Amino acid sequence: MTISALQKARYSYSPKLPLILREDIREIKPVLGQSTSAASDQEALKQLFPNTYGLPKVTFEKGHNTSIGKKFNVGVILSGGQAPGGHNVICGLYDALKNANRENTLYGFIGGPSGILDDKYIVMTDELINAYRNTGGFDIIGSGRTKLETKEQFKVCTEVCHRHDINAIVIIGGDDSNTNAAVLAEYFRAQGENICVVGCPKTIDGDLKNESIETSFGFDTATKTYSELIGNIERDANSARKYWHFIRLMGRSASHIALECALQTQPNICLIGEEVEAKNQSIEEITNYIADVIAKRAENGNNFGVVLVPEGLIEFVPSLKVLISEINDLLARTEKEFNAIETVAEKICFVESKLSAGSRKVFDSLPEEIKGQLLADRDPHGNVQVSRIETEKLLIQTVTKRLKEMKAAGTYCGKFSTQNHFFGYEGRCAFPSNFDSDYCYSLGYNAVLLLSANLTGYLSSVTQLSKPADQWQAGGIPITMMMNMEQRHGEQKPVIKKALVELDGEPFKYFQAHRDVWAVETAFTYPGAIQYYGPAEVCDQSTMTLKLEHK
């Protein structure tokens, strides 16, 4: 295999750890804090997790650790979509296990959660690990979206763990994957199995966070990658001066990616789904806002610009949110009947006939292409796959129509030519930034301290991330404290609550204070490529979101 010069250089990069994790691992002990509770649905969660609800937060301090030197066999699973830094979580796990006891073994289950169900694995070695340090992707063992959620699956997991004398499982995943980790931890504890389950917070979407999980890994690298691309397009737009670029950004439901990229690149327009919902805005109102900005720029002879659109925008438009909810429930109830229909046109007619009057009106107003995308295959949780809905194209259509109306009324005299883009997969497997390399390695290293203390049902937590790495704080939080009850497949189920953009939070307030100027003026900023070597103020910076949240 041909290896690039950068890849060779990254192999030798030594991730920075919090000070406490730089101690001899046998001299770091866990300290239990106060008991925790979920923000909502406490009674329901207590009943569902009688053995793992209300556990205390954990921090670490210097002190002799009597359990860390015991022999451990650990299984690791990569779950869900890729995020930069996943390899470093595994490297951190491996190094911590070997530092504790060279006899420890790390099993990598292949292809995600299905790997443990099929008992497909590789045993991690120095040679294998060294070939993946500080590199992007999940290809060391692969990932998958199989859900670990049934007692039958849990029984298989138990049998596989017994077969290999595995004492702990580390699940590296997002909100749904770590929800499954919590359920699996509860099952093991209820069955009297001494198998510990620890999670690591992964998702580029940025929606797996709270005061103890300040960011999910991969968000830093992905937003820096997208911001480089947006900056490149801004430079091109300012050079050619003839196109409006509509850029849809990955991020599923929350608008964290769009907001962070806006803070880094200062586009003319950035839509924030959470604000759209709070203001009860319609597609027509969003269209009018965009058209008004385009008209104001045209008055200054600027018939170009950049619009950022969060992937999940369509779910925040109240009328469309109701429609999507109805469609999700309808398709869950009529799955066999719906799937038997062969053509998209017939599927559209089938759904139209069963919608409420209000939702039918909204559905009818959409272009046929968008209707078909709304009815495409659901995700594993029965919900619409927002990544397939080309919202940027929908907005181009509605804005084009509105500008024609304005031109006819004499309120717009510019030119409107467009380009559309979707930035998603480009950011998921990039070489992790120094921040994500350090953070992910710390999460993995930290997870070994949790599992060695049999702290099951916990997420590895590293905080104070806006500071230099030596000031980061390591610990763990119970997964149940992040959960609530939500409707899934027509049933109430426990899930980790998604963290949406807070409209009273400092990142949004900063954006709000500057966007009117960015809208009319050409105030683009060009972040450029991620830097790995050089001054810390260039190479080791966290996101603007973290800086503003912890200023």
Question: How far, in Å, CA of 57 to CA of 42, rounded?
Answer: 17
Distances (CA, A) of 304 to 160, 204, 221, 349, 366: 59, 29, 28, 39, 26
DSSP letter, residue 406: H
Q: Decide: 136 and 431 in contact? Cβ < 8 Å.
A: yes
Q: Enumerate residues 6+ apart whose C-beta is below 8 A from 374.
A: 323, 324, 327, 363, 366, 384, 389
Question: How far, in Å, CA of 124 to CA of 180, rounded?
Answer: 24
In 376-433, which ranges are continuous DSSP H helix? 391-408
Nearest-10 crossing angle of helices 434-452, 86-100: 40
Paired strand residues for 483: 496
Q: Decide: 220 and 431 in contact? Cβ < 8 Å.
A: no
Query: Nearest CA to 506 among 336, 321, 260, 282?
Result: 260
- Can you say how many angstroms the Cα of residue 34 is from the centroid of all Cα atoms in its chain? 28
SS3 state at 484: strand
Distances (CA, A) of 432 to 29, 134, 228, 323: 30, 7, 14, 38
E-only strand ranges, 181-321: 196-201, 244-249, 269-270, 305-310
The DSSP H or E segment spanning 515 is helix 506-520
Query: Nearest CA to 95 among 58, 125, 61?
Result: 125
- Can you say how many angstroms the Cα of residue 140 is from the centroid of all Cα atoms in its chain? 20
Dihedral angle of Cα 58, 437, 479, 26, to the nearest 10 degrees: -30
User: Of 205, 207, 220, 438, which residue is the catalytic one?
Assistant: 205
Query: Nearest CA to 306 among 263, 266, 258, 249?
Result: 266
Kindly report the backbone phi and psi dihedral angles of residue 29, in degrees, each rounded to the nearest multiple of 5, phi listed first: -120, 150
In 169-249, which ranges are continuous DSSP H helix? 175-190, 219-240
Dihedral angle of Cα 298, 300, 306, 309, to the nearest 10 degrees: -60
Q: Decide: 307 and 246 in contact? Cβ < 8 Å.
A: yes
Query: Nearest CA to 77 among 159, 152, 178, 150?
Result: 178
Known catalytic residue: 205?
A: yes
Query: Nearest CA to 149 among 334, 381, 325, 479?
Result: 381
- Residues marked active site are found at 205
